[in-house]
């Protein structure tokens, strides 16, 4: 896993890369049978919500070695 944090063009750039080729879902993928008691499946949903509230954007992309979750947030 590799984590990158940088300031560029008035934005905070965060990237988390790993070698797993499986792309996570960015959305409400929690099992309705378990609901909010589920122990997994909500992390990226929460991050996506917080990034959106800050006026930013979250992207999940395939990479040559696996995948990258990218976050761009405007900063003052």
For 31-76, the pLDDT digits (tens) are 555 555 556 667 888 899 999 999 999 999 999 899 999 999 999 7
| Count of beta carbons in the 10 Å neighbourhood of residue 71 | 20
- How far CA 38 is from CA of 18, 22, 48, in Å, comes to 24, 20, 18
User: What per-residue confidence (pLDDT) applies to 38?
Assistant: 58
User: What per-residue confidence (pLDDT) applies to 46?
Assistant: 85
Measure the CA dihedral 17/57/50/52, to 10°.
-160
User: What per-residue confidence (pLDDT) applies to 28?
Assistant: 58
Residue 57 CA to residue 19 CA, distance in Å, equals 22
User: What per-residue confidence (pLDDT) applies to 61?
Assistant: 92
Q: How confident is the model over 3-31, as pLDDT tens digits? A: 999 999 999 999 999 999 888 876 555 55
Cβ(6)–Cβ(73) below 8 Å:
no
């Amino acid at each position: 896993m590799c984590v990158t944090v940088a300031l560029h063009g008035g934005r905070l750039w965060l990237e988390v890369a790993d070698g797993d080729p499986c792309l996570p879902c960015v959305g409400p993928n929690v099992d309705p049978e378990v609901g909010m008691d589920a122990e997994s499946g909500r992390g990226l949903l929460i991050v996506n919500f917080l990034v959106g509230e800050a006026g930013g954007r979250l992207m999940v992309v395939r990479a040559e070695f696996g995948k990258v979750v990218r976050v761009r947030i405007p900063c003052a």
